Chain A
Amino acid sequence: MDKRTTEHEAVAELRDGLTLGIGGWGSRRKPMSIVREILRTDLKDLTVVTYGGPDAGLLCKTGRVARIIYGFVSLDSIPLEPHFRAVRQAGAVEAVELDEGMLQWGLYAAALRLPFLPTRAGLGSDVLEINQKWIKPITSPYDDADQLVAMPALELDAAFVHLNRADARGNAQYLGPDPYFDDLFCQAAKRRFVTCEKIVETSDLAKAGTPHTLLLNRSMVDGVIEAPGGAHFTECPPDYGRDEAFQREYAKTAKDPEAWKAFEETYLTAESEAEYQKRVQARNEDRKAGR
């Protein structure tokens, strides 16, 4: 089965109010070409589940998000995501802030089609206080009668992840050091899309890395999108590192509406991902030439 598609077609399936899972971690291996495609639509009222980076910053800043479920939102080399901070401080989104491990557990519960998974994480902290309508404590039914937290399943309408390689059938491979939770995002979702640096023949997957790097099998994926540079400006090793200069420029626009407008016009209004990549390339050539 050939599952090749485009960012445009994948995002066209989305509707206002859906719950989206976004893979990667902080400013690492984020499906940014999908985020950029969402910004070309008028989608709104989304719930976003993420180990957040610029995906969270951009989607919240541009008013797409009603509710965000996260453990943190960080740009890694810039510890606090400045656009997300501004949105939070304006009270503009409903923030479901979790412990990082609870977020994994919620995805895993959804992946296993369980209503919840028990954990101690959250006990005694204000995670339970600030999410009390939603996250409930539970007592172990066994002799220990331990107090635990019943982390509810984080069921996703759609999941988007970015990996290094995939074949047209949806087998997908990460070649960097960390799989993050991309497989759980896919298994927790009704519709699953993988963007990748390069679509290759199935027989070439095992040439690029050991079989342990084949994180997604084709039963976990509905659509495959070739998106070279699709994680930009987040990192996607070994294909490329983070574009730190670009990230700094992005971060700086949080405190300067004029700079944000210029950034938006230059990069976010590009009519396609190809046009975005062209503008980024032109920018980098200008910088190299010292212009």
Chain B
Amino acid sequence: MSDATRAEVCAVAVAEVFRGDGERLASAFGAVPAIGARLAKLTFEPDLLMTDGVAYLRADVPPVTGDATSDPIVEGWLPFRRVFDLLWNGRRHVVMTATQIDRYGNHNFACIGPHKQPKAQLLGMRGAPGNTIHHPTSYWVPNHSTRVFVDQVDVVSGVGYDRARELEDGARFHEIRRVVSNLGVFDFATPDNRMRLASLHPGVSVDEVVEQTGFELVVPDDVPETRPPTDEELRLIREVLDPGDSRSNEVPH
């Protein structure tokens, strides 16, 4: 559909990272990832599990803002300690935001500057070390720039492919599925797992992506365009999942 906004293209690109996941807990941080994960569940991945953001697994799929349902369908109990059990068990795919990410997918949202006395304390390690070593991880970057796609991250919270390789078998559950930004989709499907431009969002050029990336990206000769939303996906995004248009706050028109 030609009238899809960039945010809507991004939401579909996030939904696509969950394709094939089946009965796995889909955790998504950020407005666009939350829309994307729910869109996947409402369309091609109906078996995904999701939490209510507190402690329950919820079988119905509420909108990302202004959930008016007084009667959610609870299908399970997942307090934090069982979240850790589940994720160390591997049946989860998380989409985390990245403050910094490098060519091998090393990720930082802990702090900017030296860890001992940071210039900016951010989220801290949170679950990133455990997530990335135990189950598939994808990343969401709403503001693709050389400040985010950096040559070297200040602190490694999420483990990248070069570090995973050094661990050999110790990292056998490590997988960075994809990075979705407001400009395109990226993966690590290269011989040495360096980040590759997998698709460009409509209206974005290779040059623009290269210019906004602080390391040398692998750019194939032919870069496809990111799949546009179908009519049904657009309807679900606009009328069901995000009638409040929180997606446009994250990725402006």
Contact = CB atoms under 8 A, between A and B. Distances in A.
- Mutual binders A and B: yes
A125 B156 contact: yes
B158 A125 contact: yes
A209 interface: no
A179 B79 contact: yes
Contact of A88 (B111, B125, B157, B169): B111
A100 B55 contact: no
Contacts of B156: 124-126, 129
A209 B42 CA distance: 35
Contact of B81 (A91, A98, A120, A181): A181
B84 A101 contact: yes
B127 A178 contact: no
Interface string A89-132: 11100010111111010000000000000011111111101100
A108 B119 CA distance: 33
B84 A100 contact: yes
B26 to A, nearest CB: 19
Interface in B104-119: 110-111, 115-119
Interface string A175-208: 0011111000000000000000000000000000
Given A121-B134, A125-B156, A125-B159, A98 B125 contact: yes
A25 B55 CA distance: 12
Given A178-B54, A180-B79, A72 B126 contact: yes
Contacts of A80: 121-123
Nearest to A98: B125
Contacts of A127: 125, 129
B163 interface: yes
Contact of B167 (A85, A100, A102, A147): A147
A148 interface: yes
Nearest to B164: A124
> Which of A79, A84, A89, A181 has the largest count of B CB atoms less than 10 A from its CB?
A89
B130 A99 contact: yes
Interface residues of B, number: 46
A71 interface: yes
Contact of A177 (B79, B110, B155): B79
A94 B123 CA distance: 17
A222 to B, nearest CB: 23
Nearest to B117: A91
Contact of A97 (B79, B115, B130): B115
Interface string B126-156: 1111101110000000000000000000011
A90 B121 CA distance: 10
Interface string B82-115: 0010011000000000000000000000110001
Given A25-B80, A177-B55, A180-B79, A124 B126 contact: no
A122 B163 CA distance: 12
B170 interface: yes
A90 B120 CA distance: 10
Given A126-B155, A146-B169, A147-B170, A177 B54 contact: yes
Nearest to A183: B81
Interface of A: 25, 70-74, 79-80, 84-85, 88-91, 95, 97-102, 104, 119-127, 129-130, 144, 146-148, 177-181
